[in-house]
Amino acid sequence: MDPILGACNSLGLKNAADNKVQIIFVPAYLNGHDGLVNMNYYDVLAGCDLGVFPSYYEPWGYTPLESAAHAVPTVTTDLAGFGMWVRHTIGSNRGVLILDRQGNSVQAVTDGLLSTLKDFLTWSPEEAALRRTEARRVAIQADWRDFYKRYIDAYGAALEAARARMSKLATTEYRERMRRTFAGTASVQPHFRTFTAVVSLPENVRRLRELAYNLWWTWNPEALELFTYLDPELWEETGNNPVKMLETVSPERLREASANEGYQNLYHRIFDDFDRYMSERANGRADMEPIRWSSPAAYFSPEFGIHESLPIYSGGLGVLAGDLLKAASDLKIPLIGVGLLYKNGYFRQRIDKDGWQVADYPENDFSYMPVRIVQDDRGNDVQIALELPGRTLFANIWEVKVGRVILYLLDTDVPRNTVQDRGITTRLYADDPRVRIEQEILLGMGGVKLLRKLGIKPSVYHINEGHSAFLLFELINNLILDEGLSFDEAKETARGCTVFTTHTPVEAGNERFSREVVEYYFSSSIKRWGITSAQFWELGRKEMGDEQPFYMTVLGLKLSNASNAVSRIHGQVARRMWSSVWKGFHHSDIPIGHITNGVHIQSYVAPRMREILDVYIGPDWAKNLSDREKWRRVHSIPDSLLWRVKTGLKFNLVNFLIQSITRHWVKYDSKTMREEIIAKINPAALFIGFARRFAPYKRASLLFSDLERLSRIVNNERHPVHIVFAGKAHPSDKMGVDLIKRVVDICKDKRFAGKIFFIEDYDLQTARHLLQGVDIWLNTPRRPYEACGTSGQKIVINGGLNMSISDGWWPEGYDGTDGWTVGPVIGDFTGYDDSSVADERDAQSLLSLLEDSVVPMFYDRDTSGVPQQWIHMVKESISKLIPEFNADRMVRQYLNRMYIPTARRRSELVRNEYRLAREVTDWKLRTPVRFSSLKLIDVIFEGIHGDTIHVGEPFTVNVRLDPGKLEADEILAELVIGKIDGHDFLKDPESVPLKLESRTERILTLSCEYQVQESGQYSYGIRIVPYNPNLSSKQELGLALWG
């Protein structure tokens, strides 16, 4: 029984009518919802006549102080810090009564408390009021403005003591080998101390560690030889990680390398190349102004896939981010990356004996990763502090060197944080929405704080997908606090220095948070900015309605100077998907452009393929990736040589596949099955690769629609075919997990064992082996759900061919001579093709292509065994696709289309103490009401006969309108016209501006002339929007009037 209830029972205190003492016992936290009192503790406290807190020990004791603060006479003891302070500082008073517990028995204290309570019962109303006043007076004197002076004294004493110690240290002689002395405290338990042993590199190889910590080596294969030479087996065991390898390699091997002439020659050649590369930095180039190293572009992303030794990525988004950093480094573009350093990162995949995916989360050991913590001049870790509701979050800053570019990462596993907060950066893409939003607040707002902490002043911020869009809020905060701008002025300025990239063509896949979660974290910001909840919610709401979620994509789109999708079709999809953000505009006018993704070719090309490119394309091919003329030289490579190199790469893949089967044996039923599967692998077979995230829309099982037909294809003894699958499903995606189970079951089916394979734990190392070794890269997404899909771009440089649905990047690359399209060939968005009929159609097309085209062409050999037609297609693929789908082209387009214009926009907005920002803001605030006063009087079309017009004959459009409260130069009228097919335009319509022809006191007349060039059905309309030459786009206000 509860001790309080037990005491009441023993004393007969049962709240009976004859009990003089009545007890109310509420063993619950009084937060207003306890179920009995339903009042806040402080409201209950304020209604009491006496507060009794007879503590045995309290370092301070806030409860009696809170009681006194509410003007309640209070009883405490001399064993509470508060009681001692009252006795020694305040002295005798009638508001706070102090019991003497120190040195007294429990009975004596009990008697003292009883006497105090009896005395309390004798107080007159006047006495009680006086004591209430006295209690309040005591509490008022417990003020931090006075208490903090004691801390100042303590700090001074500590500093004085430190100076005394330092003066002694200054006279101490330090030698390389120091003596450490510990107190001789004895312990009967095992007691250990730790230290870290770091390998001391011989002088003439001492820079190996410097190279290990710069990921430049990941795309310079000769640099890898410096590490693999030391111990090839250890290189494999350490996961291709030079940082870990240098700390585990034997000193003998290092000494041998330092004495080996051939190794020394390679060492000096590599470091000559490395030093030359690092010393060449573009700064002050006129074509990049105002982007320079003192004001770079800042690229924010939740993940970066640079190399498997830095496992902080899950898939395509991260690998793209890593490729962008590498390309920016090669192009000498001033750019830095900002992300998060995850303790566990994304999960490691295992397949159990039943074929199910198991997710493991091993901890990353940062000391063995190519990351270094950022420290100040005194060797202290540099940290940022970020305010979250009710607490401060601290994060360390880590640095990753990627050639000339630096990537900064934030990590919350800091002792100053709570256990919960230390786990914020544990896993990539946490399931819990509160952890997820805290990760994104840390990435966005914390990332901006990181840059300020390091003195970096970006000229443009790039939000790579919506996860980091909260950086906009931190920019607004800083502009309000530092520059004295209003919220709207700060918002305009933040928009002027930001660009946004959307990667997700499925609305459900775009990051969003509920109203409850968002308001919990940002209610204080709403108050601080002086805006309403509705104004705040409008920043991230797609549609009207209080229950609408807060879309990170909408925030990024609304508050960015420029936005883009990642392929032509994705741009068309995105403009339709987000058209409600700009009501009044046709989806073709939505300001979302497209920059098709590209890949960092040097990171994926096999060393042997690189060698023949050096000879036949030229040793500088990597610096001329977009030179179409140069890439036509690929046709000069002898067919037999290209085939021989590709065959060698396939042997490497076979060896890797055998190692994988041997290492990941659990999913196979027996050792015999494993051996039988390995024995069936034919290095001469046609190899098809399918490796990506296992999401339902990617249709990994499309091949399995007709198993008998598939069996005939893969088991053809004269024309064997092998299919290799790899990929992970998010642990929460049951349908994706089921797909992996389906593939593994097929792999174990007797018809397909040894013909179809699944490689576990897909990562960048596995990707390289597949991309370099397979003959065909298969891509079968449900259209149009593949935003880009860059994995197929990586196979091209290694002599592989693409076989893909017409989605993502492939419609821009396919021309009939460089690969195959599964299903209909489509160049533009034609709707959502997600029916079971489409699945069946695409499955039949896929199997037919394999039977009728792909397999026959692969096995059509000349007398020397070379498939000439196949090799010709490989050369066409390389010569046409490499110049277009490379990361250099992509980064140049970001620079020229988005970074430079946005950086210049920012410069204009902030010039002359933000004059333009203030003027544009003022105009935007005044314009909606004035625009509503505009009236369209009539629209007259001349030259149209009924509903027809002759090609080549002009027609004239005249518009008369009453401008209302707008000036004539604040009005933009346009003829929007285009050819249609049914209900939509065949391509983006033209927008032809009307010119002002005349004006009267109240009427403006505007007109334009247009000439149709092609026959067919057209659609047209007149659109009027408010105009200001200082806007980034005419859609900014989201206001339009149609006639």
**CA–CA distance, 995 with 977 (Å, rounded to integer):** 17
How high is the pLDDT of residue 289? 85
**CA–CA distance, 303 with 312 (Å, rounded to integer):** 6
Q: Answer yes or no: is pLDDT of 999 > 70.
A: yes
Task: Report which DSSP code applies to 852.
Answer: I
Dihedral sign for Cα atoms in the order 621, 627, 631, 633? negative
Residue 931 pLDDT grade (very low, low, confident, very high; cuts 50, 70, 90): very high
Residue 427: strand pairing partners:
345
Q: Answer yes or no: is pLDDT of 888 > 60.
A: yes
Stretch 269-297: mean pLDDT: 88
How high is the pLDDT of residue 195? 55
How high is the pLDDT of residue 191? 62
How high is the pLDDT of residue 947? 80
769 within domain boundaries? yes
Structure token digits, residue 980: 């249609």
Residue 742 pLDDT grade (very low, low, confident, very high; cuts 50, 70, 90): very high
Among residues of the chain, what percentage have pLDDT more than 90? 78
Stretch 198-226: mean pLDDT: 93
154 or 852, which is more confident: 852
How high is the pLDDT of residue 986? 82
**Which CATH number do you get for residue 691?**
3.40.50.2000
450 and 325, same structural domain?
yes
960 and 870, same structural domain?
no
307 or 506, which is more confident: 307
Structure token digits, residue 400: 């990753």
Residue 169 pLDDT grade (very low, low, confident, very high; cuts 50, 70, 90): very low
216 within domain boundaries? yes
Residue 746 pLDDT grade (very low, low, confident, very high; cuts 50, 70, 90): very high
129 and 67, same structural domain?
yes
**Which CATH number do you get for residue 1008?**
2.60.40
209 and 294, same structural domain?
no
Number of domain units in the chain: 5
Stretch 285-292: mean pLDDT: 83
Strands 801-805, 819-822: pairing is: parallel
**CA–CA distance, 177 with 199 (Å, rounded to integer):** 16
2 within domain boundaries? no
Q: Answer yes or no: is pLDDT of 201 > 60.
A: yes
Alpha helices in 142-279 (DSSP H): 144-169, 208-212, 221-228, 232-237, 242-248, 251-259, 261-279
Give residue-wise pLDDT tens across range 109-145: 999 999 999 999 999 999 999 999 999 999 999 988 8
How high is the pLDDT of residue 332? 96
Stretch 144-158: mean pLDDT: 85
Stretch 281-294: mean pLDDT: 79
Q: What is the largest CA-CA distance in the chain?
A: 119
Structure token digits, residue 843: 């499955």
Give residue-wise pLDDT tens across range 553-602: 999 999 999 999 999 999 999 999 999 999 889 998 999 999 999 999 99
**CA–CA distance, 737 with 349 (Å, rounded to integer):** 11
Give residue-wise pLDDT tens across range 51-69: 999 988 888 988 999 999 9
Q: Answer yes or no: is pLDDT of 247 > 80.
A: yes
861 and 980, same structural domain?
no
609 and 590, same structural domain?
no
791 and 717, same structural domain?
yes
Mean of the per-residue pLDDT values of the chain: 92
625 and 717, same structural domain?
yes
DSSP conformation letters of 59-109: SS-HHHHHHHHTT--EEEETTBHHHHHIIIII-S-SSEEEE--TT--HHHH
899 within domain boundaries? no
Structure token digits, residue 951: 């090609």
Give residue-wise pLDDT tens across range 770-801: 999 999 999 999 999 999 999 999 999 999 99
Q: Which of 194-203, 267-276, 390-399 has the lowest mean pLDDT?
A: 194-203
Q: Answer yes or no: is pLDDT of 175 > 50.
A: no
Domain boundary among 222, 248, 279: 279
Residue 15: strand pairing partners:
none
Helix (H) or strand (E) holding 125: helix 125-141
Domain boundary among 559, 594, 629: 594
Q: Answer yes or no: is pLDDT of 880 > 80.
A: yes
Angle at 829 between CA 825 and CA 835, to 5 degrees: 75
Q: Answer yes or no: is pLDDT of 234 > 90.
A: yes
Give residue-wise pLDDT tens across range 794-821: 999 999 999 999 999 999 999 999 999 9
Domain boundary among 279, 310, 329: 279
788 and 672, same structural domain?
yes
Cis, peptide link before residue 290, omega less than 30° from 0: yes
148 or 650, which is more confident: 650
Give residue-wise pLDDT tens across range 819-878: 999 999 998 888 888 788 999 999 999 999 999 999 999 999 999 999 999 999 999 999
**CA–CA distance, 728 with 761 (Å, rounded to integer):** 7
Q: Which of 23-32, 118-127, 182-191, 1007-1016 has the lowest mean pLDDT?
A: 182-191
Give residue-wise pLDDT tens across range 350-409: 999 999 999 999 999 999 999 999 999 988 999 999 999 999 999 999 999 999 999 999
Task: Report which DSSP code applies to 490.
Answer: H
178 within domain boundaries? no
561 and 492, same structural domain?
yes
404 and 389, same structural domain?
yes
Give me Rg for the CA atoms of the chain: 36
Residue range of the domain that includes 256: 203-279
Residue 37 pLDDT grade (very low, low, confident, very high; cuts 50, 70, 90): confident
941 within domain boundaries? yes
**CA–CA distance, 146 with 595 (Å, rounded to integer):** 61
Stretch 620-627: mean pLDDT: 95
Q: Answer yes or no: is pLDDT of 193 > 90.
A: no
Stretch 943-951: mean pLDDT: 83
**What does residue 398 show for φ and ψ, rounded to 5 degrees?**
-115, 155
Residue 183 pLDDT grade (very low, low, confident, very high; cuts 50, 70, 90): low
Stretch 141-170: mean pLDDT: 77
468 and 557, same structural domain?
yes
Give residue-wise pLDDT tens across range 912-924: 999 999 999 999 9
215 within domain boundaries? yes
Contact between 952 and 1013 under an 8 Å Cβ cutoff? The reply is yes
Q: Which distant-in-sequence residues (6+ apart) come within 8 Å of 633 by Cβ?
A: 616, 617, 618
Model confidence pTM above 0.85: no
Q: Answer yes or no: is pLDDT of 168 > 60.
A: no
**CA–CA distance, 98 with 92 (Å, rounded to integer):** 10
Contact between 445 and 388 under an 8 Å Cβ cutoff? The reply is no
Helix (H) or strand (E) holding 493: helix 487-495
**Residue among 318, 322, 319, 313 at smallest CA distance from 342:** 313
Residue 674 pLDDT grade (very low, low, confident, very high; cuts 50, 70, 90): confident
How high is the pLDDT of residue 220? 95
Structure token digits, residue 246: 């240098």
How high is the pLDDT of residue 913? 94
532 within domain boundaries? yes
